[in-house]
Amino acid sequence: MKTYLRHTDGSVEDNEGRILFFSMDRFVSDICEGDCCFMCGASPSPKEKEFNEEHIIPKWVLRKLDIYKLSITLPNGAKIRYDQYTVPCCKECNSFLGSEVENDIRAAVNGGLDSVNAYILENGPWKIFLWLSLIFFKTHLKDSYLRKHLDKRKGDESISSDYDWGLLHHIHCMIRAIQTGISISNECLGTTFVLPAKTADHLDTYDYRDVYAANTILLRIDDIAFLAVLDDSCAAMNLFSEHFNRLTGPLSPIQLREVLSHLTLLNYKLKYRPSYHTKLDASTGDLFIAAELPESIELEEHTRDELGEILYANISEYVDKMPSPDINFTKENILNGRYHFLFDENEKFMSNSMDLIEMNTN
Ligand SMILES: [Zn+2]
């Protein structure tokens, strides 16, 4: 039988002092609002371990797409270079993530879409799901280090000041399981899609977008798009399957943002939600992460406008830039849910989305 130390705050350590489970309080004080290593919880002051920084978007992605020096625009409007977009991590955990997570994904992605699909066939979707969870987690942990307002007169709170850290606590438990070896029950796997992305000279090779309150994420690298819902136990995948089967070609950047919007609405509107808990298996003495699933997958009532509003928020940056001869392509029509990018009026996939239009100048 293994022995664990349970602290009064509810955190659990093994007999070597490794934290197996962060209580919600400790997670918030040490990781979200503190500056401890986000994986093992080691403190930088007093320094318990060597520290370096973990890139939020993995270094190999930045190198592959040559976007190292490009900047990301933060929610506060400031720009930060990708090579400086990092969160605190100890050296040991940083190299652990490199060898145990990034190496496999890099090898799969470098072989293109077919190679990622072959990887999933052989190994299942878990590592890709946890890798997306990790990127989502780092992105929002970073928000706690960034000012909400660049103008100091408006206050000095962080972007994360109104976050409900409870949303990230489950995701943190999941990504740490890679390191602690705690098993995760299969029902904890969320919706995970790998879709073909359209590539062309006039389209960017990279896109990242997530919706914090819905735990949804889109990451596009060249011809591969990854989408996930991190806390739905595959409910959105079930509800989206009819649409999914009609995606018959590579998706343009705006179409992928529309898929993200559908998944976001579906996860928002789940009538009954799964819940997740770290438990102790009394027979083996092992900790594991379990899901309690609702008896049925049902959606709350929702309107076309609600999808329209989510869609517009996800694509507004494209709307002004995209030339279209279609007079119905307006902000108003998108907002009220009357304009979409995935399927035409006959419900057929639009294969020419974002293709260059031949302008007749005569
Ligand atoms: Zn660490």
Whole-number Å distance, alpha carbon 213 to ligand 1 midpoint, is 27
pLDDT of residue 78: 85
For 347-354, the CB contacts below 8 A with 24+ separation are 347/246, 348/246, 349/246, 349/247, 349/248, 349/249, 350/255, 351/248, 351/249, 353/198, 353/251, 353/252, 353/254, 353/255, 354/198, 354/200, 354/203, 354/252, 354/253, 354/254, 354/255, 354/322
pLDDT of residue 339: 93
pLDDT of residue 1: 61
Contact 86, 61 (CB under 8 A): no
Strands 287-292 and 183-184 turn out to be parallel
pLDDT of residue 256: 98
Q: Which token pair is 40? A: 């093992």
Whole-number Å distance, alpha carbon 95 to ligand 1 midpoint, is 10
pLDDT of residue 359: 59
Give Cβ neighbours of residue 248 (< 8 Å, ≥ 6 apart): 349, 351
Whole-number Å distance, alpha carbon 92 to ligand 1 midpoint, is 6
pTM of the predicted protein model:
0.95
Give the residues of the chain that fall short of pLDDT 50: none
pLDDT of residue 361: 53
Whole-number Å distance, alpha carbon 256 to ligand 1 midpoint, is 34
In the three-class reduction of DSSP (H, G, I as helix; E, B as strand; rest coil), residue 325 is classed as coil
Whole-number Å distance, alpha carbon 288 to ligand 1 midpoint, is 21
Whole-number Å distance, alpha carbon 287 to ligand 1 midpoint, is 20
pLDDT of residue 226: 98
Whole-number Å distance, alpha carbon 172 to ligand 1 midpoint, is 13
